[in-house]
Every structure is written in structure tokens, then in C-alpha cells.
Structure 1
Amino acid sequence: MKYIHIDHVEQGQHLGKTIFSGNGAILLSEGVQLTVYMITTLKRIGVTMVYIKDPLFEDIEIVDIVSEETKRAVIQRMGETFDSIRSGKDFNTRAFNGSIDNLLDEIMRNKDVLVQLSDIRTKDNEMYVHALNVSMMAVMIGIQLDLPATQLRELAIGAMLHDIGKVEKITDDEAGDSKLHHTWRGFEVLKNKRELSLLIAHVAFQHHERVDGSGTPRQMQGEQIHLYAKITAVANTYDNLLFDESLGRRMLPHEACEHMTALADTHLDREIVIHFLRTVSIYPTGASVRLSTKETGVVVGQHKGLPGRPVVRVVKAESGTDLEVAEIDLAKRTTVFIDSVLA
């Protein structure tokens, strides 16, 4: 299957990956034949990228570090947690922790798989998918740093709840009060949860601090910022660069990685950025690319440790109706490079 922009989807094509709502329910199932109405609806609810089945690439397997079932369960639990907070109720910590444990188990089993953030987002589920992605990436960085299991669990929970302070809306009159910044509000919500480590509350509090002291809300710097918050900041920055339209043009993964490298030692901790770059798929499987040879193809395979040198399948039309299919392994073809990613 191929990962393409919604504007390039055509009537009659088949969806390659299931789309979920904010509460984890299925909106459209994998394999459904798309109609004009479906495509229009996907655009209306904020979907920008989708997986489409393609007979030339039907053997491509998108390997995720977490299964669709676990993702759906976590998204559902996040929806319940945030709904409880919105209504002024206490959220179920035991149920939430159970979903985190399942998430951690799967990540540990698949820790050698490169992360690629290809889950289809809608306006309804984007807050929950963002929280899930930040938590997954934070744990992968933590594994690179050899954090023990107890710390990985704290990190996973803190990263999952880093934006919990955004759940309660504030008025324009309140917006100027620094104590009402979502980092402060998140800290206030979490510090009173006795079942959770206070360090988890500090992730919500510090994830917008910068190592050079220019961050918010307290302009902390360097070692004043807790390791969990530094890790979460890196994961949060990457996901925002890819999907947050308020930051301007959404970046492609390779662009976001270059941008984050430039932010090392100012906004982000350099060592953590280096560990992060070892875990992420710069050119996601299914993405269409143009090579330095002027050929176009689709990424069909990855190399752990060489995220910038994937395997690309090129399909050329020969005389008549025959097609020539060739796979170029950029880890071996060292003189060939990816020039651009085709949206």
C-alpha cells in the first residue's frame, strides 16, 4: 500500500488502514472502497494523509511498534480520562495504568522497529493520537538511554498526560495569567493524584522548558529540567512539527529531523535528540520518493541504524503493458540519494 495525501485519493480506491474516531470506534475499515462522499467527509473531519491499497505494493507491510488494537484501547482510555477532567470528576488511575502497561509490553517486544507516525488523524482524535505518539516515542528514547522498567513506566505515563492541562478551556481574560498556562494546570491536576509519582506531574510542568532557559513557564535551563521532561519535549516537538497546523506548514519526517537537529543545545537536549534520531523512520514505509537518479518509487523497507537509507521500489513502464520492477537498497547503493518526498 501507499501513503498519500487526501487530495490525491481517487474514487474507487481501497483504504489501506483503518481510521478511528476519538473514542476508539471505527470510522472506516481497512479495505473499504472509497466513494466521493467518503473522500469529502475525510477532508471535512481533518484527515490529510491516508494509506491506499495498490496492487504494485500489496506486499508492503507497515510494521508498527504498537498494534492497532492496543492503540485503539489507549485512545479510548484517553478519551475517558479527559472527559472525566472536563466534567470535574476524578479519573480512573487503575484503568489508565492498565492501558499503559499493555502499551509498554508491546513497545518492549518491538523495540527494534523504527517509529513511523502514520496513524490517520481527524479533528476528533488528534489530541489522543498526539498523546499516544509522544508517549511511544518517549519510551523508545528511554530504551535507548537504558532506563530501567520502573522509570520507563513513569516516563510513559508522564508523556501520555503531558498536555492534560489543555483539557480545561480558559477564557480570554484568564489567558494572560502565567499560572493558567496549560503546563501549570497540568501540574496542578497531576500533583494531587497520590497514585502517580510526582515526577509525572513535572513532565506536564516542564515539557515546554528549553535547555537554554528561553522556555516556559519558569525559564528553567540545562540540568534544572528533569530528564523525563527533556525526553518528552523532544517527542512532543517532533509530533507537532509533523501534524500541528498552528506552527505553519506541516513538515515531512526528514524535514522535521533536520529542524530538530538545529534546535539541539538551544530548545532541546542534544544527547536526547541524537538518541531520538536512532529510533525514528525518516522516510516512512509507503511514502513516495524521488531519487537522485530522477526515478520515482515507494519506500518498501527500513534498516535499523540507517533510517535515512531505506529500500525503495521503482516501477517503470516498458514497451506494451509490461512493467519493470526494481528494488534499490540505499544502504548498498551509496551513490544514490533521496532527493525529495512526494506528497
Structure 2
Amino acid sequence: MLELVKLSPRKLEVGMFVAGLDRAWSETPFKAPGFTVQTQFDINQLSGLCEFVFVDKHKSLTLELDADGPESGPSKATKRAIPLPRPRLEKSQYLEGRELTPYKDQTDWAKEYPQAKESVERLYESVKRMFRSMDSGDRLDLLSVKQSVDPVIDSVARNPDTCIWLARQKQSDQYTHQHSVACAIWSVVIGRQLGLPKTDLRSLAIGGLLFDIGKLRVSDELLTSPRRLSGAELELVRQHVYFGAELAREKSNVNEDITAMILQHHERYDGSGYPDGLRDDEIHVFARIAGIVDCYDALTTHRSYAPAIAPSEAIKQLHEVKDLDFQAEIIEEFTQAVGMYPAGTLVELSSGQVAVVVSNYRARRLRPRVILLLDEHKRPLASLRWLDLSRATHDERDKPLNIVTSLAPGSHGIDLATIDF
């Protein structure tokens, strides 16, 4: 029988089983549906992330609690229900009224890369200027933003892998700017997968750039703090969605789709999100997309309070919260768009060599094109070596050659930002 006790993370002890959080599992480095506290480090991490947690008394190895205490009691605890099976929705149902047309790759990776690189670099510089300008109280130059995102949209439409690669090349000291650019790219990638027209792709891109703009009004100390935030501090951080909507309205004339992405990207499909506890189709479909890309990019990026995880692990975690945090169909479309090994993913091969994924074949996602970086002893290779796993099925010893695992960003000291062509 399930019996949950609500606790402050500071009252946790090693051996307790944490079965629920006051936020989505996907916003933390911990995996659903729960885990046993192993170390004080686990407690410190939870204290920095959560105001309260739910502990399962029957699964805990140690639990000395008064169930009638002010912070506990199974009768008072609320847990997230497992979503009931439901009929699968077609794109035309949750994108009603939008014209959908499938996209096809028009260029290969090598041909697209120079254009994509120039476009993404220009967008990154534009975002830095935009944040500085709005932080100074200036009006958002929406025309300039549109001009900056359009080349990226065109590149993703021709071949998304090049921009996906560039979205993975991140610098830890520029998280806010990198996150905004990456979320714009991921949003357009999902939009392309769904077959949305360019006007909608532009809204997705601008919304991806702007949905965290409200953090300009929140102190960096709170945004990057590894310590547990107080209730008042957590509430202030959550106010960034309102600050962002106000800034967007004051500084520019953005459309409803973009405003919804700003206001609702922390809403969750089961109603457990904020600020309004919206659920299902009460959440604007572009905000549902924004929530997924925000979560995915955060999970795969080093942050002050959590290390980056491998893209395949992030995809796995998204699937674990289908119809809890995010709409199942959109998670599946995102997975189809990027694959388990998106461009820019570090992987280890069955040969022991380490490589980085460069591009995918839409029909053979598990056998992408890669660049070998380290030999079987994890020593750097003298020069970059391209390998097409769709053709290279065996290694030099005639043994089957496959990807055995994806690696967390930065594994073996590899910095993707230093790789160029």
C-alpha cells in the first residue's frame, strides 16, 4: 500500500525513498518514478531544487516520522496520478487550423554546414545584443529578430542536422544566451517535423529566444544558486514567466503564439505546472513544444546545480513523463526529429573508440555518420576521421561495429566547441 509523507528536503535521511517532488522529475537530475537517498549529496541537491518532497514509508530503509506532523501526513499528501491510456491524437487534431506540409532534406550535411554556421553565429550575436538592449530598457527590435532567425529557419528546413550540431556546441559561461539560441533551434526542429509552415516556424523560433527573457528581472544569484531556495525566492524565480510576458508586451508587438510560449512553458500536461496549473489542451500547443525543448536543453547542458546528461538519457527521461509533464505525441515527434543520437552527441562504439555524431539518416537513426575522436584506448586521434556507420558495419578486426552507448557532454575532456571543419 502506498503511504506518502510530505517532507522538507532538509529532513531527509540516507535510506529514505523519495517518490515524488514538488516539481516535474524532468526539471531535476533525478529519474522518475523515485529513488532511495544514498548520500548527503542527494539531500543537498534536493534541498537546492525543491521546497518539499514526498517519501514512501514502505519503500524507505529508515523512517522515523510523526505522520501527524506539520510537514507530513499521507492524508494531506498529493501525488501525481499515472495517466490513463487515451486514444492517440493526430497532428491535425492538436494543430487544428494550421496548414501542415511534410519537409524533405534538400542538402547534405557538408554542403549545409557553412551556411548554418554563419546563420547560427549571427543569431547568437543578435541574441546577446537583444538581451543587453532589453536589460537597458530599450524596445525589442522585432524586425531585426525576425531577420536573424529566418536564415536559421531556412537552414533547418533544408537539413536540420547542421543546426542541431551547432545547438550542441555550448559554452558553460554563456548559458542564458546559448540556451535561448538552442531552444529556438529545437523549437524549429519540432515544427519542421510536424510540417508547420514558415510563419509558424518563425513564431516558434522567436518564442524559443524569448520565453526566458523575464529572467532579466531575476537576480543571477537566484538563477544560478546551487543552494536550496526559500519559498519566497522560488516564487520570485517562477515570476519570470509574468516578467517575460510584460517585457514582450512593453517592448514589442509579439503575436499570441509567442506570448503563450513565454507565459506557459512551465505548465505541465497533467496540470502540475505553473503559473496557472493548466492541463492538456488548455496549454497552447506552442507552449507544449516550448516546455519540451526547455527541459531537453537544460538536461543536456551543464548547470550550476546539475551536470549535463547524455541526449539519449534525456530522451528516455522525456518518455518517462509522457502525458504527465508533456504531451506524448509531441515527445514522440521530437524523438523522431532528433533521434536517440542527435548531431553533436558523443558516443562510444563497440570497438572502444569514441566518436561524435555528425548527421543522421532519417530511416536509420541508429547508424549515423560520425567523426572518430579517440582510439580504443581513449587516446586522441591525430586527425579527424569520418565514419559512416550505415556502411561500416564491421571494425578492423571484422567484428560488428555499433554504437554501444551515448556519453554525457564533456566526457573524456572533449569540447565540441573546439571542433571545426
TM-score using structure 2 length: 0.57
Tell me which of 314, 322, 329 is aligned to 2:389: 329
Tell me which of 208, 224, 241 is aligned to 2:266: 208
- CA-to-partner distance for each residue in 1:190-211, whole Å, 9 max, x for gaps? 1345532132111110001100
- The 3 A distance-change label for structure 1 pair 305 and 234 is farther
Alignment partner of 1:296 is 2:358: no
- CA-to-partner distance for each residue in 1:97-143, whole Å, 9 max, x for gaps? 211223222222224768333313141x3211111111111111111
* Residue in 1 that maps onto 2:275: 217
Is this contact kept in 2: 1:165–1:182, CA < 8 A?
yes
C-alpha displacement at 1:169, in angstroms?
Answer: 2.5
Structure 1 SS opposite 2:138 = coil
Residue 260 of structure 1 aligns to which amino acid in structure 2?
A: L
* Residue in 1 that maps onto 2:284: 226
* Residue in 2 that maps onto 1:340: 405
Alignment partner of 1:119 is 2:177: no
Matches within 5 A, 1:82-93: 82-93=131-142
Alignment partner of 1:97 is 2:154: no
Structure 2 SS opposite 1:167 = helix
Structure 2 SS opposite 1:100 = helix
- The 3 A distance-change label for structure 1 pair 265 and 304 is same
Is this contact kept in 1: 2:349–2:402, CA < 8 A?
yes
Query: Which structure has the greater CA radius of gyration?
Result: 2
State how far apart, in whole Å, the 2-side matches of 1:107 and 1:230 are: 20
Alignment partner of 1:237 is 2:287: no
Residue 404 of structure 2 aligns to which amino acid in structure 1?
A: D
- The 3 A distance-change label for structure 1 pair 316 and 227 is closer
Structure 2 SS opposite 1:98 = helix
Identity between Structure 1 and Structure 2 (%): 27
C-alpha displacement at 1:242, in angstroms?
Answer: 0.6
Structure 2 SS opposite 1:308 = strand
Tell me which of 241, 245, 250 is aligned to 1:187: 245
C-alpha displacement at 1:281, in angstroms?
Answer: 5.1
- The 3 A distance-change label for structure 1 pair 80 and 308 is same
Aligned residue pairs total 275
Is this contact kept in 1: 2:188–2:205, CA < 8 A?
yes
State how far apart, in whole Å, the 2-side matches of 1:180 and 1:327 are: 45
State how far apart, in whole Å, the 2-side matches of 1:135 and 1:176 are: 26
State how far apart, in whole Å, the 2-side matches of 1:65 and 1:205 are: 35
C-alpha displacement at 1:61, in angstroms?
Answer: 5.7
State how far apart, in whole Å, the 2-side matches of 1:267 and 1:331 are: 39
Matches within 5 A, 1:61-80: 64=113, 67-80=116-129
Structure 2 SS opposite 1:133 = helix
C-alpha displacement at 1:338, in angstroms?
Answer: 2.5
Tell me which of 193, 216, 226 is aligned to 1:167: 216
Q: Name the stretch that deviates more: 194-203 or 126-135.
A: 194-203
State how far apart, in whole Å, the 1-side matches of 2:130 and 2:295 are: 23
TM-score using structure 1 length: 0.69
State how far apart, in whole Å, the 2-side matches of 1:266 and 1:336 are: 37
- The 3 A distance-change label for structure 1 pair 305 and 130 is farther
- The 3 A distance-change label for structure 1 pair 295 and 233 is same
Is this contact kept in 1: 2:163–2:185, CA < 8 A?
no
State how far apart, in whole Å, the 2-side matches of 1:311 and 1:194 are: 42
State how far apart, in whole Å, the 1-side matches of 2:370 and 2:139 are: 49
Alignment partner of 1:258 is 2:316: yes
Superposition RMSD in Å: 3.4
- The 3 A distance-change label for structure 1 pair 134 and 64 is farther
In structure 1, runs of 5+ residues without a counterpart are 1-59, 318-324
Structure 2 SS opposite 1:245 = coil
Structure 1 SS opposite 2:405 = strand
- The 3 A distance-change label for structure 1 pair 147 and 156 is same
Is this contact kept in 2: 1:183–1:205, CA < 8 A?
yes
